[in-house]
């Protein structure tokens, strides 16, 4: 069955790299469609995410052994080589001979059998050279890091303009390998202690973190099949995202607006802090995502959440006023490249159009805040032009808002978190209070 896992991995990578699909969505759909076992699902996931996060390193190796440039290779041949080289370099439990033999079999399964000799030759040449990564010919730190950390040099150069060398290197190092999996305990249904006991009985290793009701999980397979998950005792959410929900300071009985809510995790956590008392309006522009929010809230038993379709760019007076407004805007996502490695291969020029949209969403969201209420702005990126520059510009033009100091878990009125900090995602959180 291992070849089924590898074949599914190739199919997934073709959809992600050539069709622009999201890695988590594509992988879930293919694993379900192909009816992979738990063991095959695990191998397939490792190959897909591994080949994505190490893509430039792998392509550097292919380029050293292939007369044909990587970009001109048949897509299926390219992905077969990537997952096979990934196995040779990074998966010690898979014998080299098995990785090569399965790669040759894959050429037939993927209908590129004519390339079997080429694939075999590249892999065996790499083995004869003792699996050494060829030296980088271009000079410069960005070019070297492109191969070391599999991040495009153009993105590295962009990051170095905004962040220190140490920060960028830490971000890149943290982006390799599967990130820590965090979950938020549904405190409306169970205590942290009791959930830890249940998870242990279900074969899941779980430990508390320093953030209340936040636990880290390991030794997990299909979380959706766990009885504790099905009963709505927890939801998956990174620690940084949980902190963002905490810093909104939502209290029982309040009226809360989450303007860009999908998939809904911050709304869920705020509802739990509110003890499921009050009202949360969770919005997204897409009907399918709104449906997902509703399904998540129903599973968790969080009845105060009402999910609706809404465009965050447009102010709707009829929605009324709110005690708390969370503005978690679309962003470049550079703080989560460890979870979604395909993000780092986007053209950085695509990020240039985001700040005006982010500002427009923040401007529209500000209209919903009551006097004395708190407006929270957040992203999962590390670029200042999407973070501190947005909120300082906003405050300079809106004298009816002031920076609101976050007294718990951080100091000051904003937090700029890098992915290497406390093993969590990169995140930016700023809180502002309406004063009149």
The alpha carbon of residue 374 and the mean position of all alpha carbons in its chain are separated, in whole angstroms, by 26
- Asked whether residue 422 carries a pLDDT value surpassing 70, the answer given is no
What's the domain count of the chain? 4
- In terms of DSSP bridges, do strands 305-309 and 234-236 run parallel, antiparallel, or are they unpaired? unpaired
Residue-wise pLDDT tens digits, 262-299: 999 999 999 999 999 999 999 999 999 999 999 999 99
Residue-wise pLDDT tens digits, 397-410: 999 999 999 776 56
- Asked whether residue 1 carries a pLDDT value surpassing 60, the answer given is no
Residue 301, number of CB atoms within 10 A of its CB? 14
Kindly state whether residue 194 falls inside one of the protein's structural domains: yes
The CATH number of residue 194's host domain is: 3.30.70.1170
Tokens of 5: 């896992």
**Whether residue 258 has a cis bond before it, omega within 30° of 0:** no
Q: How far apart are the first and last CA of the chain?
A: 65
Residue 387 pLDDT: 97
The CATH number of residue 69's host domain is: 1.10.940.10
Q: Measured between alpha carbons, how far is 51 from 326 in angstroms, rounded to an integer? A: 35
Is the Cβ–Cβ distance between 215 and 185 less than 8 Å? yes
Q: Are residues 168 and 200 in the same domain?
A: no
Kindly state whether residue 136 falls inside one of the protein's structural domains: no
Residue with tokens 């196995």: 87
Kindly state whether residue 134 falls inside one of the protein's structural domains: no
- Phi and psi at 73, nearest 5°, equal -70, 150
- Asked whether residue 341 carries a pLDDT value surpassing 90, the answer given is no
Plot region of 221 (φ>0 → left; ψ -120 to 50 → alpha; else → beta): alpha
8-state DSSP, 401:
E
Kindly state whether residue 392 falls inside one of the protein's structural domains: yes
Helix (H) or strand (E) holding 47: helix 38-53
Residue 164 belongs to domain spanning: 141-174
Kindly state whether residue 424 falls inside one of the protein's structural domains: yes
- Asked whether residue 88 carries a pLDDT value surpassing 90, the answer given is yes
Helix (H) or strand (E) holding 105: helix 96-109
* Catalytic status, residue 380: yes
3-state helix vs strand vs coil in the chain, percent to 5 = 55, 15, 35
**What does the mean pLDDT of the chain come to?**
94
Tokens of 51: 């080949």
Q: Are residues 348 and 212 in the same domain?
A: no
Q: Are residues 357 and 319 in the same domain?
A: yes
Average pLDDT over residues 47-69: 95
Q: Are residues 406 and 280 in the same domain?
A: yes
CA distances from 312 to 19, 105, 329, 357 (A): 27, 49, 9, 10
Residue with tokens 């410069």: 140
8-state DSSP, 316:
-
Tokens of 69: 């440039």
Plot region of 306 (φ>0 → left; ψ -120 to 50 → alpha; else → beta): beta
Residue 113 pLDDT: 96
In b/e form, how buried is each residue of 63-100, taking b as 16+ CB within 10 angstroms? ebbbeeebeebbebbbbbbbbbbbbbbbeeebeeeebb
């Amino acid at each position: 069955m291992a070849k089924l896992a590898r074949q599914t991995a190739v199919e997934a990578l073709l959809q992600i790299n050539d069709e622009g699909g999201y890695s988590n969505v594509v992988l879930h759909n293919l694993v379900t469609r192909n009816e992979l076992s738990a063991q095959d699902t695990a191998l397939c996931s490792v190959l897909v995410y591994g080949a994505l996060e190490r893509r430039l390193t792998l392509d550097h190796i292919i380029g050293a052994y292939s007369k044909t440039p990587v970009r001109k290779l048949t897509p299926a041949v390219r992905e077969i080589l990537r997952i096979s080289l990934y196995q040779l370099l990074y998966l010690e439990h898979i014998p080299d001979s098995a990785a090569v033999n399965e790669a040759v079999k894959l050429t037939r399964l993927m209908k590129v059998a004519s390339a079997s000799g080429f694939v075999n030759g590249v892999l065996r040449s790499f083995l004869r050279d003792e699996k050494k990564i060829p030296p980088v010919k271009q000079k410069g730190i960005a070019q070297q890091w492109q191969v070391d950390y599999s991040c495009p040099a153009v993105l590295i150069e962009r990051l170095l303009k905004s962040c220190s060398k140490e920060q960028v290197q830490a971000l890149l190092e943290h982006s390799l390998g599967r990130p820590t999996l965090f979950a938020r305990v549904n405190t409306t249904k169970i205590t942290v202690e009791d959930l830890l006991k249940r998870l242990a009985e279900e074969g899941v290793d779980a430990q508390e973190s320093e953030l209340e009701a936040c636990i880290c999980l390991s030794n997990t397979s299909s979380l959706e099949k766990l009885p504790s998950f099905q009963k709505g005792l927890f939801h998956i959410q990174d620690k940084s995202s949980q902190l963002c929900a905490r810093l909104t300071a939502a209290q029982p009985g309040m009226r809360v607006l989450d303007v860009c809510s999908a998939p809904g995790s911050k709304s869920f956590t705020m509802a739990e802090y509110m003890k499921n008392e009050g009202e949360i309006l969770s919005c997204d522009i897409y009907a399918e995502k709104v449906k997902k929010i509703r399904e998540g809230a129903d599973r968790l038993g969080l009845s105060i959440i009402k999910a609706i379709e809404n465009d965050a760019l447009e102010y709707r007076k009829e929605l009324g006023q709110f005690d708390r407004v969370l503005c978690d805007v679309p962003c470049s996502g550079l703080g989560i490249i460890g979870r979604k490695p395909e993000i780092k291969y986007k053209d950085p020029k695509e990020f240039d159009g985001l700040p005006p949209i982010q500002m427009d969403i923040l401007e529209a969201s500000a209209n919903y805040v009551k006097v004395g209420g708190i407006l929270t702005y957040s992203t999962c990126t590390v670029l200042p032009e999407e973070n501190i520059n947005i909120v300082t510009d906003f405050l300079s033009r809106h004298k009816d808002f002031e920076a609101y100091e976050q007294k718990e878990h951080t100091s000051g009125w904003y937090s700029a978190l890098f992915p290497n900090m406390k093993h969590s995602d990169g995140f930016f959180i700023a809180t502002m209070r309406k004063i009149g």
